[in-house]
Amino acid sequence: MERRSFVKHAGLAGILAAGSAPVFAQGAPEVKWRLASSFPKSLDTIFGGAVTISERVAAATNNKFQIQVFAAGEIVPAFGVVDAVQNATVQCCHTAPYYFFGKDPTFAFACAVPFGMNCRQQNAWMYHGGGLELMREFFKDYNIVNFPAGNTGAQMGGFFRKEVKTVADMKGLKMRIGGFAGAVLQKLGLVAQQIAGGDIYPALEKGTIDAAEWVGPYDDEKLGLYKIAKYYYYPGWWEGGPELDLFVNTKAWADLPKDYQSILETAAATANVDMMAKYDSVNPAALRRLVAAGVQLRPFPREIMQASWKAANELFDETSASNPRFKKVYENWRKFRDEDILWFRVCEQPFDQFMATATSQQPAPAKKG
């Protein structure tokens, strides 16, 4: 194939993939964006999703397309990032969409809802089950184009000052918990409060809250929650596979050259995979450190799990009855979830269960010498 033909058909991104970055740079426009994150820099993995996007975009365009990342509070507060993108204060943000449950509960499907899908199932629904198309239709009303850009995997249920053994123990408990889960737990008498990551420790320390959930061992250790509350519950049934998203202002997206659009989309997909991989890598050691520091691991009692399941499904039905946009997404999401879980029950779950048992019974390797 002649080089002129190759350039014509492959496009700038194709040339870059072929290793010709200087050629790419000659005719490429300079674009500078600002990204507002909902997370503090100290939480390097979840904040790092935005950094990954920024670095990949810059590297792929020979620094012609630059995205400057700002931590929560540097431009707008953690929960102000959607308004900032919608109003073009910034071109994009990196956030957990369920933070904006108060705007419309439908936001939560782009992140996590109680008793939802795990990371792999969420990706399957988004990329191949119609989820991305449904959410983009919804986000049009907010002047946003969304991209999956991170996942934490199943989260922990959080740190509690006291043990919770029954549903009655939940009543009156003040807990930092965001999104749909807070509304579910309110049905059980818990007082839900949405607090940004960087503000959780002081709230727990001062007694403003009695319990707090964030992500999992690695991040929770960094927040220092175990220094105040010793009971660490699992699983976080409200976050089986919470997705983080890159939200891009509609006009900013439309104004990007097609090659830059492709590069940005690819960078977001890279962040989506990389974040989950890092959490899976760092959480095991962090959990061991927490236990060594005196943390008491506790499973949520079955009574609480069953009551939460019942309350969640009641809330799904109530919200669907009053919100047609929620209902449209929910019906597609629920059908996909239930079908995918059938497959996981056949093969994935039995494999995981066997491996958990087998490795726990396996003798430690003999020491050399």
Say whether pLDDT at 329 is over 50: yes
State the pLDDT at residue 178. 75
User: What digits encode the pLDDT tens for the residues 112-131?
Assistant: 999 999 999 999 999 999 99
User: What digits encode the pLDDT tens for the residues 261-302?
Assistant: 999 999 999 999 999 999 999 999 999 999 999 999 999 999
pTM of the model: 0.90
Beta carbons of 237 and 254 less than 8 angstroms apart:
no
CATH of the domain at 68: 3.40.190.170
Beta carbons of 70 and 132 less than 8 angstroms apart:
no
State the pLDDT at residue 11. 43
State the pLDDT at residue 368. 67
In a domain, 232, yes or no: no
In a domain, 332, yes or no: no
In a domain, 14, yes or no: yes
Say whether pLDDT at 330 is over 60: yes
User: What digits encode the pLDDT tens for the residues 143-170?
Assistant: 999 999 999 999 999 999 999 999 999 9
State the pLDDT at residue 212. 97
Host domain of residue 56: 3-152+241-281
Beta carbons of 213 and 176 less than 8 angstroms apart:
yes
In a domain, 94, yes or no: yes
Say whether pLDDT at 26 is over 90: no
Of 164, 160, 163, 165, the closest CA to residue 177 belongs to 160
339-367 mean pLDDT = 90
Say whether pLDDT at 78 is over 90: yes
Confidence of residue 68 (pLDDT cuts 50, 70, 90): very high
User: What digits encode the pLDDT tens for the residues 234-268?
Assistant: 999 999 999 999 999 999 999 999 999 999 999 99
In a domain, 130, yes or no: yes
- For 122, the token pair is 């969420």
Own/partner long-range contacts of 343-347 (Cβ < 8 Å, ≥24 apart): 344/118, 344/121
Confidence of residue 369 (pLDDT cuts 50, 70, 90): low
Confidence of residue 25 (pLDDT cuts 50, 70, 90): low
State the pLDDT at residue 152. 98
In a domain, 321, yes or no: no
What's the CA angle centered on 276, arms 81 and 44, to 5 degrees? 55
In a domain, 202, yes or no: no
Tell me the DSSP string of 324-342: HHHHHHHHHHHHHHHHHHH
Number of domains in the chain: 1
In a domain, 302, yes or no: no
Tell me the DSSP string of 281-303: HHHHHHHHHHHHTT-EEEEPPHH
Say whether pLDDT at 5 is over 90: no
The identity of residue 152, as a single letter, is T
